[in-house]
Structure 1
Amino acid sequence: MRICLAGATGVIGRRLVPLLVAEGHQVTALTRRPDRFATLRAAGAEPVVADAFDRAGLAAAVAQAAPDVVVHQLTDLSADDHGANAALRTEGTRHLVDAALAAGARRMVAQSISWVYQAGDDPADESTPLDLSAQGERARRVLSVAALEEAVAELPEWVVLRYGMLYGPGTWYAPDGGIADQARAGRLTADDQVTSFLHVDDAAAAAVQALTWPNGAVNICDDDPAPGREWVPAFCAAVGAPPPPQAPPGRPGWSRGANNTHARKNLAWTPKHPSWRDGFRTMTTPPE
């Protein structure tokens, strides 16, 4: 297939390029960074400069790719700016969907997140509504995800991957990432909030498999949703941080984790890292 990959130099995108090429696909890799061209070409892709906020430029880049499928892995998290990432989910996705439709693409596979569901006691499955009544900063995040998913569903064929919290090399949860820095500074507390994790390699593999999945949203996370009182001490130990401070009891109702049964049973997706408990132990602390 002819695939246009938006976000080709991001933490998932740079893993996706060689996987897609190995499957025999022709990959056009969109990036804002011309300095990444050599790396993308070495991986087997044809790089093209494109900015998701430049509607006309993005449309031209996607038209040039003439894709069967557009893979949306756009994020803007390098500066820990959630507002910028929300804007990319809304405006950037709108531009990408319009470009895909104009270019005649039949399918889009897009990155979303799995911690925007309504409150509940158990890990959420895909039938759980999004938390559209959220307040404050969470409202901006949830509404941006809702806008992304609604736009992607305009394609004739579409899959939204609701990823768990990414960990592994290049993520915030790597030993050299921002969350590890917080842990070593004693600012990461162990609390009752439940998180579903996902190794970044499993995220990339799911995006490849989703090229042939039926339409819909899919939770892509490991098998082991866990409260911070369990995972935070393990993470601290893995990244060379001291034991974390303990937060008071209680959790927001929306902090419930996600259920991956649909992906496992109906789509034959199996994570190579079924639990963060083993995944964290594979991480190595960077030298001082």
Structure 2
Amino acid sequence: MRVFVAGATGAVGRPLIRMLVDEGHDVVGTTGTPANVDAVTDLGATAVVMDGLDPESVRRAVVESRPDVVIHQLTALKAITGNMRKFDADFAVTNRLRAETTDSLLAAARESGVKRFIAQSFTGWTNPKDRTGLATEDEPLDPHPTKHSRNTLAGIAHLEKVVPAEPGMTGIVLRYGFLYGPGTGLNRGGDMSELIREGKFPIVGGGGGVWPMVHVEDAALAAARAVEHGDAGLYNVVDDDPALVRDWLPALAAELGAKPPMRLPRWLGRVVAGEHAVSLMTSMRGSSNAKAKRELGWELKYPSWREGFKHGIG
């Protein structure tokens, strides 16, 4: 099929295009700057320069490409500073990409007769905290987000509402967990890894927050599988091993050659980093991947972050 990938040069976009090309699809990949055109064509795709926040640019790119499938992988995660008190500010552009750009891509896909639309979302701190166990796709998003994450949750909620509901189109939302590996913040040169090396990523409270992890290659593979598998709806794309902060953070620090992370009591974590950081460290629930494995035919290269940290961190 002819597959249009918005966000071809991102952490997920690059391995995704490679997989789609290897599977025989005709791939069009977008980049926001002409300087990255060669990076897209080197992957075997046709490159298109597109401004994701300009509806006419989006329309022109999609309509002229005449795709069968549209995959929305656009984010602006490189803008993240790590300041949890500025969480919504860090995600401001990504929130627009999840709302405005999703609407623009859907409108262009509708005009072009696209029958399958796949979009990237997130699972983790978005899960409701008043329940136990792993969150499934049947649960609502957290009705009580921290004050610094409300706008970001609203962007996610918009995307997750409009994509599966698009008439005449199979709309699939892939809820990625915390990405790690090449091109992400959790690789050997990533921003989060540098904070861990510098001792600036402490364990707060008992470190009982559960982080759903997924290697970037496995995230890309889920999107590749969704091109031909799965009904409209939401899919948690996470590994098989829900990761307690008190387990994964020291393990990654050791893998990076860093000292064990400091430990802070909750009250001090709230003073130093704010409410959202404390929630991530102590209250977050993991997510079940059963639906994605069952309905997308998705098999993970790294079923556990434990193996992934050792052999796939990048």
CA contact (8 A) 2:59 2:108 kept: yes
- The answer as to 2:291 corresponding to 1:281 is no
How many residue pairs get matched? 285
Relative distance call for 1:22 and 1:37 in structure 2 (3 A) is: same
**Rounded Cα–Cα distance in structure 2 between residues aligned with 1:75 and 1:26:** 23
Counterpart in the other structure of 1:188: 201
Partner of 1:35: 35
- State the Cα distance separating 1:268 from its structure 2 match: 2.6
**Match in the other structure for 1:114:** 123
Structure 1, unaligned stretches of length 5 or more? none
SS at match of 1:159: strand
Structure 1 letter corresponding to 2:236: N
- How far did residue 92 of structure 1 move? 1.6
Aligned to 2:149: 138
* Structure 1 range deviating more: 148-157 or 104-113: 148-157
Q: What pairs up with 1:220-231 in 2 under 5 angstroms?
A: 220-231=237-248
Query: Residues 69 and 141 of structure 1: is their aligned pair in 2 closer, same or farther, counting only changes over 3 Å?
Result: same
Deviations 1:115-149 (A, max 9, x none): 21211221101111111442412211211101112
Q: Which residue of 2 aligns with 1:58?
A: 58
Give the CA RMSD over aligned residues. Answer: 1.8
Q: Deviations over 1:222-269 (max 9, x none)?
A: 011121111100011111211001233697486101111122234331
Distance (whole Å) between structure 1 residues aligned to residue 4 and residue 294 of structure 2? 29
Structure 1 contact 182–188 (Cα < 8 Å) conserved: yes
Corresponding residue of 2:46: 46
Contact 1:132 1:139 (8 Å CA) reproduced:
no
1:1-288 correspondence runs (5 A): 1-80=1-80, 81-115=90-124, 116-119=126-129, 120-153=131-164, 154=166, 156-190=169-203, 191-212=207-228, 213-248=230-265, 252=279, 255-282=284-311
Partner of 2:86: none
Determine the C-alpha separation between the residues in 2 that align with 1:14 and 1:56: 25
- TM-score with structure 2 length normalisation? 0.86
Deviation at 1:31, TM superposition (A): 1.0
Kindly provide the amino acid, as one letter, of the partner of residue 145 in structure 1.
I
Identical-pair percentage: 39
Task: State the 1:283 CA deviation.
Answer: 5.0
Unaligned runs of 5+ in 2: 81-89, 268-277
Deviations 1:15-74 (A, max 9, x none): 111211111111111111211212222222111110111111110110001111100100
Aligned partners of 1:204, 1:92: CA distance in 2, in Å?
Answer: 20
TM-score, normalized by length of structure 1?
Answer: 0.94
The CA distance in 2 between the partners of 1:32 and 1:139, in whole Å, is 27
Give me the whole-angstrom Cα distance separating, in 2, the residues matched to 1:267 and 1:152: 17
The CA distance in 2 between the partners of 1:189 and 1:151, in whole Å, is 37
Contact 1:239 1:284 in 2 (8 A): no
> Which residue identity lines up with residue 107 of structure 2 in the other structure?
D
Contact 1:157 1:214 in 2 (8 A): yes
Offset at residue 106 of structure 1 (A): 1.0
**Separation (CA, whole Å) in 2 of partners of 1:239 and 1:178:** 13
CA distance in 1, matches of 2:34, 2:53: 17
Partners of 1:124 and 1:258 within 8 A in 2: yes
- In the TM superposition, residue 284 of structure 1 has moved relative to its aligned partner by 6.7
Structure 2 counterpart SS, 1:207: helix
- Amino acid in the other structure paired with 1:244: P
Q: Which moved more, 1:46-55 or 1:114-123?
A: 114-123
